[in-house]
Amino acid sequence: QQQVKQSPQSLIVQKGGISIINCAYENTAFDYFPWYQQFPGKGPALLIAIRPDVSEKKEGRFTISFNKSAKQFSLHIMDSQPGDSATYFCAAENSNSGYALNFGKGTSLLVTP
Amino acid sequence: EADIYQTPRYLVIGTGKKITLECSQTMGHDKMYWYQQDPGMELHLIHYSYGVNSTEKGDLSSESTVSRIRTEHFPLTLESARPSHTSQYLCASTLGGNYGYTFGSGTRLTVV
Protein backbone atom coordinates (compact mmCIF):
# COMPACT_ATOMS: atom_id res chain seq x y z
CA GLN A 1 0.00 0.00 0.00
CA GLN A 2 1.42 3.33 -1.09
CA GLN A 3 1.59 5.42 2.08
CA VAL A 4 2.74 8.56 0.30
CA LYS A 5 1.03 9.62 -2.92
CA GLN A 6 2.98 11.92 -5.22
CA SER A 7 1.90 13.93 -8.26
CA PRO A 8 2.43 14.70 -11.03
CA GLN A 9 4.38 11.77 -12.44
CA SER A 10 6.17 14.11 -14.85
CA LEU A 11 6.48 17.84 -15.22
CA ILE A 12 7.86 20.16 -17.88
CA VAL A 13 8.64 23.73 -16.89
CA GLN A 14 10.30 26.55 -18.77
CA LYS A 15 13.49 28.05 -17.44
CA GLY A 16 12.67 30.68 -14.85
CA GLY A 17 9.29 29.19 -14.04
CA ILE A 18 8.02 27.62 -10.82
CA SER A 19 7.97 23.84 -10.47
CA ILE A 20 5.44 22.43 -8.01
CA ILE A 21 5.29 18.82 -6.87
CA ASN A 22 2.64 17.61 -4.46
CA CYS A 23 2.48 14.78 -1.95
CA ALA A 24 -0.23 13.47 0.35
CA TYR A 25 -0.15 11.02 3.23
CA GLU A 26 -2.63 9.27 5.53
CA ASN A 27 -0.60 8.22 8.55
CA THR A 28 -0.79 11.03 11.11
CA ALA A 29 2.11 9.47 13.00
CA PHE A 30 4.54 10.61 10.32
CA ASP A 31 6.80 13.29 11.78
CA TYR A 32 9.48 13.86 9.18
CA PHE A 33 9.02 14.75 5.52
CA PRO A 34 12.13 14.91 3.32
CA TRP A 35 12.49 15.51 -0.39
CA TYR A 36 15.15 13.77 -2.44
CA GLN A 37 16.63 14.73 -5.80
CA GLN A 38 18.00 12.07 -8.11
CA PHE A 39 20.02 12.53 -11.28
CA PRO A 40 20.39 9.68 -13.80
CA GLY A 41 22.95 7.12 -12.71
CA LYS A 42 23.14 8.49 -9.16
CA GLY A 43 21.53 7.66 -5.86
CA PRO A 44 18.93 10.05 -4.43
CA ALA A 45 20.31 12.98 -2.46
CA LEU A 46 18.56 14.76 0.39
CA LEU A 47 17.36 18.13 -0.86
CA ILE A 48 15.27 19.64 1.92
CA ALA A 49 13.14 18.35 4.79
CA ILE A 50 10.44 19.59 7.14
CA ARG A 51 8.86 18.57 10.42
CA PRO A 52 5.10 19.01 10.96
CA ASP A 53 5.48 21.75 13.57
CA VAL A 54 6.24 24.30 10.82
CA SER A 55 4.20 25.21 7.75
CA GLU A 56 7.02 26.25 5.46
CA LYS A 57 10.74 25.81 5.05
CA LYS A 58 12.87 27.57 2.49
CA GLU A 59 16.41 26.83 1.36
CA GLY A 60 17.55 28.92 -1.55
CA ARG A 61 15.20 28.35 -4.49
CA PHE A 62 13.58 25.32 -2.83
CA THR A 63 10.58 25.63 -0.51
CA ILE A 64 8.48 23.00 1.25
CA SER A 65 4.93 23.96 2.10
CA PHE A 66 3.27 21.77 4.71
CA ASN A 67 -0.45 21.54 5.48
CA LYS A 68 -0.91 19.34 8.52
CA SER A 69 -4.71 19.42 8.55
CA ALA A 70 -4.91 18.40 4.90
CA LYS A 71 -2.04 15.91 5.29
CA GLN A 72 -0.34 17.35 2.26
CA PHE A 73 3.05 18.82 1.51
CA SER A 74 4.61 20.21 -1.60
CA LEU A 75 7.94 21.20 -3.07
CA HIS A 76 8.25 24.50 -4.90
CA ILE A 77 11.28 25.21 -7.07
CA MET A 78 11.49 28.89 -7.84
CA ASP A 79 13.32 30.23 -10.91
CA SER A 80 13.68 26.67 -12.24
CA GLN A 81 16.90 25.98 -14.13
CA PRO A 82 17.83 23.27 -16.65
CA GLY A 83 20.22 21.90 -14.01
CA ASP A 84 17.19 21.16 -11.83
CA SER A 85 16.05 18.53 -14.34
CA ALA A 86 15.96 15.36 -12.27
CA THR A 87 13.58 12.97 -10.54
CA TYR A 88 12.19 14.19 -7.22
CA PHE A 89 10.89 11.94 -4.47
CA CYS A 90 8.91 12.95 -1.44
CA ALA A 91 9.03 10.74 1.62
CA ALA A 92 7.61 10.43 5.11
CA GLU A 93 8.81 8.77 8.29
CA ASN A 94 7.50 7.91 11.72
CA SER A 95 10.57 8.24 13.88
CA ASN A 96 8.92 6.31 16.69
CA SER A 97 8.02 3.27 14.62
CA GLY A 98 11.55 2.13 14.04
CA TYR A 99 10.70 1.71 10.38
CA ALA A 100 12.13 3.04 7.16
CA LEU A 101 11.20 6.03 5.02
CA ASN A 102 8.06 5.72 2.89
CA PHE A 103 8.77 7.15 -0.56
CA GLY A 104 6.41 8.56 -3.16
CA LYS A 105 6.63 7.21 -6.69
CA GLY A 106 8.68 10.14 -7.95
CA THR A 107 8.26 13.07 -10.33
CA SER A 108 10.41 13.46 -13.41
CA LEU A 109 11.08 17.17 -13.89
CA LEU A 110 12.35 18.62 -17.15
CA VAL A 111 13.27 22.28 -17.26
CA THR A 112 13.51 23.52 -20.82
CA PRO A 113 15.90 26.33 -21.83
CA GLU B 1 30.88 13.52 -1.26
CA ALA B 2 28.81 10.64 0.04
CA ASP B 3 30.59 8.38 2.50
CA ILE B 4 28.70 5.30 1.42
CA TYR B 5 30.19 3.07 -1.22
CA GLN B 6 28.65 0.40 -3.39
CA THR B 7 30.48 -2.13 -5.53
CA PRO B 8 30.37 -3.17 -8.24
CA ARG B 9 28.96 -0.19 -10.07
CA TYR B 10 27.73 -2.37 -12.96
CA LEU B 11 27.32 -6.14 -13.16
CA VAL B 12 26.14 -8.51 -15.88
CA ILE B 13 25.69 -12.12 -14.83
CA GLY B 14 24.01 -15.27 -16.02
CA THR B 15 20.80 -16.75 -14.68
CA GLY B 16 21.27 -18.98 -11.65
CA LYS B 17 24.49 -17.35 -10.44
CA LYS B 18 25.00 -16.35 -6.84
CA ILE B 19 26.10 -12.76 -6.37
CA THR B 20 26.85 -10.40 -3.52
CA LEU B 21 26.45 -6.65 -3.79
CA GLU B 22 28.68 -4.74 -1.42
CA CYS B 23 27.79 -1.66 0.62
CA SER B 24 30.04 0.09 3.10
CA GLN B 25 29.73 3.37 4.97
CA THR B 26 32.26 5.28 7.00
CA MET B 27 29.84 7.49 8.94
CA GLY B 28 29.18 5.12 11.83
CA HIS B 29 25.47 4.97 11.03
CA ASP B 30 23.53 2.22 12.79
CA LYS B 31 20.64 2.09 10.32
CA MET B 32 21.20 0.77 6.82
CA TYR B 33 18.84 -0.06 3.98
CA TRP B 34 18.69 -1.76 0.58
CA TYR B 35 16.31 -0.48 -2.07
CA GLN B 36 15.52 -1.77 -5.54
CA GLN B 37 14.80 0.83 -8.19
CA ASP B 38 14.12 0.64 -11.91
CA PRO B 39 15.61 3.73 -13.62
CA GLY B 40 13.80 6.88 -12.53
CA MET B 41 11.09 4.85 -10.87
CA GLU B 42 9.93 4.39 -7.30
CA LEU B 43 12.13 2.86 -4.63
CA HIS B 44 11.16 -0.48 -3.12
CA LEU B 45 12.57 -1.42 0.28
CA ILE B 46 14.17 -4.87 0.20
CA HIS B 47 15.97 -5.19 3.55
CA TYR B 48 16.99 -3.01 6.46
CA SER B 49 19.11 -3.18 9.56
CA TYR B 50 19.13 -1.17 12.79
CA GLY B 51 22.54 -2.34 13.88
CA VAL B 52 24.93 -5.24 14.12
CA ASN B 53 23.17 -8.61 13.97
CA SER B 54 19.85 -6.92 13.20
CA THR B 55 18.22 -7.51 9.80
CA GLU B 56 14.62 -7.29 8.62
CA LYS B 57 12.79 -7.88 5.34
CA GLY B 58 11.19 -4.94 3.62
CA ASP B 59 8.11 -4.72 1.43
CA LEU B 60 9.64 -6.27 -1.66
CA SER B 61 10.57 -9.92 -1.59
CA SER B 62 13.45 -10.26 -3.99
CA GLU B 63 14.76 -13.64 -2.90
CA SER B 64 17.79 -12.06 -1.38
CA THR B 65 19.50 -12.11 1.98
CA VAL B 66 21.57 -9.62 3.94
CA SER B 67 23.96 -9.73 6.86
CA ARG B 68 25.22 -7.13 9.30
CA ILE B 69 28.29 -8.41 11.07
CA ARG B 70 29.98 -5.01 11.22
CA THR B 71 28.41 -1.59 11.58
CA GLU B 72 29.98 -0.29 8.40
CA HIS B 73 29.20 -3.24 6.11
CA PHE B 74 25.79 -4.40 4.81
CA PRO B 75 26.12 -6.80 1.86
CA LEU B 76 23.16 -8.07 -0.18
CA THR B 77 23.26 -11.59 -1.62
CA LEU B 78 21.14 -13.05 -4.41
CA GLU B 79 21.36 -16.83 -4.09
CA SER B 80 20.16 -17.55 -7.64
CA ALA B 81 19.88 -14.58 -9.96
CA ARG B 82 16.96 -14.37 -12.40
CA PRO B 83 16.20 -11.93 -15.23
CA SER B 84 13.48 -10.43 -13.00
CA HIS B 85 16.28 -9.27 -10.69
CA THR B 86 17.56 -6.94 -13.38
CA SER B 87 17.39 -3.53 -11.72
CA GLN B 88 19.34 -0.91 -9.82
CA TYR B 89 20.12 -1.65 -6.20
CA LEU B 90 20.64 1.28 -3.85
CA CYS B 91 22.14 1.16 -0.38
CA ALA B 92 21.46 3.88 2.17
CA SER B 93 22.31 4.68 5.77
CA THR B 94 21.22 7.12 8.43
CA LEU B 95 21.79 8.12 12.02
CA GLY B 96 18.03 8.00 12.40
CA GLY B 97 16.09 10.61 14.34
CA ASN B 98 15.08 12.62 11.26
CA TYR B 99 18.62 13.02 9.93
CA GLY B 100 17.78 11.84 6.42
CA TYR B 101 19.36 9.10 4.39
CA THR B 102 22.68 9.08 2.59
CA PHE B 103 22.49 6.94 -0.54
CA GLY B 104 25.24 5.20 -2.43
CA SER B 105 25.52 5.54 -6.22
CA GLY B 106 23.96 2.14 -6.73
CA THR B 107 24.75 -1.14 -8.47
CA ARG B 108 23.19 -1.62 -11.87
CA LEU B 109 22.53 -5.36 -12.21
CA THR B 110 21.64 -7.13 -15.44
CA VAL B 111 20.80 -10.84 -15.37
CA VAL B 112 20.91 -12.52 -18.76
Q: What is the pLDDT of residues A53-101, one digit of tens each?
A: 999 999 999 999 999 999 999 999 999 999 999 999 999 988 777 667 8
| Distance in angstroms (rounded) separating the CA atoms of residues B82 and A94 | 34
Please answer whether residues B34 and B74 qualify as being in contact, where contact means their C-beta atoms are separated by less than 8 angstroms: yes
What is the pLDDT at residue B102?
93
What integer pLDDT is reported at residue B41 of this predicted model? 84
B75 touches chain A (CB under 8 A): no
A contacts of B98 (beta carbons < 8 Å): 31-32, 49, 51, 93, 95
Q: Which domain holds residue B96?
A: 4-111
Q: Give how many domains chain B has, as a whole number.
A: 1
Chain A hits for B100, CB-CB cut-off 8 Å, are 34, 46, 49
pLDDT the model gives residue A61: 98
Residues of chain B positioned with their CB less than 8 A from the CB of A36: 101, 103
Which of A43, A87, A108 is closest, CB to CB, to B105?
Answer: A43
What residue numbers bound the domain in which A52 lies?
A: 4-112
The enclosing domain of B43 has a CATH number of 2.60.40.10
Q: Does A42 touch chain B (CB under 8 A)?
A: yes
Q: What is the pLDDT of residue A111?
A: 98
- Contact B105/A95, CB-based, under 8 Å? no
Number of domains in chain A: 1
The answer on pLDDT for B2 being more than 80 is no
Kindly state whether B1 is in contact with chain A, defined as any CB-CB distance less than 8 angstroms.
no
Q: pLDDT per residue over B61-108, tens digit each?
A: 668 999 999 999 999 999 999 999 999 999 999 987 777 899 999 999
User: In one letter, which amino acid is A22?
Assistant: N
The alpha-carbon gap from A53 to the nearest alpha carbon of chain B, in Å, equals 13
A60-87 in b/e burial notation, b at 16+ Cβ within 10 A?
A: eebbbbbeeeebebbbbbeebeeebbbb
CATH code, domain carrying A18: 2.60.40.10
Q: Write out chain B residues lying below 8 Å of A87, CB-based.
A: 40
Q: What's the distance, Cα to Cα, between the start and end of chain A in Å? A: 38
User: What is the pLDDT, as a whole number, of residue B68?
Assistant: 97
| pLDDT in the model for residue B61 | 64
CB contact under 8 A, B102 and A44: no
Q: Of A35, A22, A19, A34, which Cα lies nearest the Cα of A83? A: A19
**CB contact at 8 A, A84 and A77:** yes
Q: What is the pLDDT of residues B21-60, one digit of tens each?
A: 999 999 999 999 999 998 778 898 899 999 999 999 988 7
